[in-house]
Amino acid sequence: MKRLTRTLAVAALASTLAIASGCSGADDSNDAGGSGNGGTLEKVTYLTSFANFGRDAYAYVAKDKGYFKEAGFDVDIKPGSGTLNNLKAIATGTAMFTPLDLTGILQARGQGNVPEAKDVTVVAGIQQRTMAAIITLDGKGITTPKDLEGKTLVDSPSSVVRNLFPTYAKLAGVDAGKVTWRDGEPAALIGQLAAGSGDGIGQFVVGKPTVEAAAKGKKAVVLPYSDVMTDLYGNVLVTSTKIAKEDPEKVKRFTAALIKGLNDSVTNPKEAGEILNKNVPTANAAPAAAECELMASFVGSGSAVGTVDIARVTRSIAILQGAGAIPPGLTAEQLIDVNLTPKA
């Protein structure tokens, strides 16, 4: 197995866990001085991947430290609500940029059941490996993938973790037919697990500290999908295909500013947690910092941060096609603009 490679959370634990509040506290005022256009800052709406957890703190870091302003943007950061909803928001122009799980985009585009998927373009990588995972608690009798047989897992029907499970199970030697899935709301998953409802949940690897905080003393057990699917990316930055084609320079400026915030957040997770808490008071700084720290190995380092390897994405598509998750015909080039992605 390789090194440890959705997100959700807990509305019922809002006082201690990082729940979305919708506020974005740092001030990118509309005065002159943005290096991107030399004048009035351009308004941009950005959606986090889901709510306001530590894994999304980097956008607040980029805003708080003035990176967006230096690039010429006044960024309004709003809490996202998952891959499919965020994808539709980008395609319809409700927001301009958001991180989406690349596997979720591949499935939506490949299966053709989300028409909006053809209207978004990948412009940067956020996590170089998928953070999808099954998380359970010590004492549930699950320590290896094979232990999932006979167990009940809880997740949203639209979850990337859940939809990718058959592929994961096949590669991990698990009989997916022996695993029961029950529907759950993303924001309630961690609370349900802590309360003993179900044997495990679909989550991101970095959700471990938040799960343990909710479970009050119980240790979390994490089964990362990246252990058996090493080519899959995690979240990638997307914008609308229209914006990518009509204003590539704006995309590059925004991406560069966001990647600076991403790099800072994994280099100094404590600071990132504090910045998130300052901008979103309901987001607890300590679990947020712990998430940023765990995310560091998924983000990469140095010049690799933000890059997207077309060959790896092609292999990811082949994995999904081989497992019957998507039909033939999809190519990496249909999704990714290599002229906009950061270079190593």
What's the mean pLDDT in 131-145? Answer: 97
β-strands 180-183, 152-155: how paired? parallel
- Alpha carbon of residue 192 to chain centroid: 21
Amino acid 33: pLDDT = 42
Q: What's the CA gap between 55 and 75, in Å, rounded?
A: 18
Q: Is 257 a domain residue?
A: yes
Q: How many Cα atoms are found within 13 Å in the side-chain-facing hemisphere of 267?
A: 10
CATH for 64: 3.40.190.10
Q: Is the pLDDT of residue 61 over 80?
A: yes
Q: Is 326 a domain residue?
A: no
Q: Is 299 a domain residue?
A: yes
Amino acid 29: pLDDT = 47
Least confident of 117-131, 143-157, 260-274, 317-331: 317-331
Q: Is 180 a domain residue?
A: no
Beta carbons within 8 Å of 266's beta carbon, 6+ residues apart: 58, 272, 292, 293, 295, 296, 299
Amino acid 28: pLDDT = 55
Amino acid 39: pLDDT = 74
Number of domains in the chain: 1
Of 259, 241, 257, residue with least CA distance to 299: 259
Domain that holds residue 53: 14-127+233-307
- Alpha carbon of residue 2 to chain centroid: 21
What's the mean pLDDT in 96-112? Answer: 93
Amino acid 301: pLDDT = 73
Helix/strand/coil percentages in the chain, nearest 5: 45, 15, 40
The angle that helices 248-267 and 57-64 make with each other, rounded to 10 degrees, is 100
Question: In percent, how much of the chain has pLDDT > 90?
Answer: 74
The answer to whether the beta carbons of residues 235 and 101 sit under 8 Å apart is: yes
Q: Is the pLDDT of residue 244 over 50?
A: yes
CB atoms within 10 A of CB 180: 13
Q: Is the pLDDT of residue 131 over 80?
A: yes
The beta strands (E) that lie in 48-167 are given as 50-51, 73-78, 80-81, 98-101, 120-125, 132-137, 152-155
Average pLDDT, the chain: 88
The answer to whether the beta carbons of residues 173 and 186 sit under 8 Å apart is: no
Q: Is the pLDDT of residue 191 over 50?
A: yes
Q: 226-238 pLDDT, tens per residue?
A: 999 888 999 999 9
Q: 304-339 pLDDT, tens per residue?
A: 899 999 999 999 999 889 888 899 999 999 999 999
Q: Is the pLDDT of residue 9 over 80?
A: no
Q: What's the CA gap between 50 and 82, in Å, rounded?
A: 5
Amino acid 38: pLDDT = 55
Whose tokens are 């549930």? That residue is 140
Least confident of 23-37, 136-150, 166-180: 23-37
Q: Is 275 a domain residue?
A: yes
Q: How many Cα atoms are found within 13 Å in the side-chain-facing hemisphere of 139?
A: 9
CB atoms within 10 A of CB 327: 11
Amino acid 15: pLDDT = 33
The answer to whether the beta carbons of residues 257 and 75 sit under 8 Å apart is: no
Q: Is 182 a domain residue?
A: no
Q: What's the CA gap between 273 and 57, in Å, rounded?
A: 7
Amino acid 157: pLDDT = 86
Which of the four pLDDT bands, split at 50, 70 and 90, describes residue 84? confident
For residues 85 and 200, the model is more confident at 200
Which of the four pLDDT bands, split at 50, 70 and 90, describes residue 279? very high
β-strands 132-137, 42-47: how paired? unpaired
What's the mean pLDDT in 274-297? Answer: 95
Q: Is 332 a domain residue?
A: no
pTM of the predicted structure, to 2 decimals: 0.83
For residues 45 and 210, the model is more confident at 45
Q: Is the pLDDT of residue 3 over 60?
A: no
Least confident of 6-15, 138-147, 235-244: 6-15
Q: Is the pLDDT of residue 285 over 50?
A: yes
Amino acid 149: pLDDT = 98
Q: What's the CA gap between 13 and 45, in Å, rounded?
A: 27
Q: 69-79 pLDDT, tens per residue?
A: 999 999 999 99
Q: Is 32 a domain residue?
A: yes
Q: 12-57 pLDDT, tens per residue?
A: 333 333 333 344 444 454 443 445 545 799 999 999 998 899 999 9
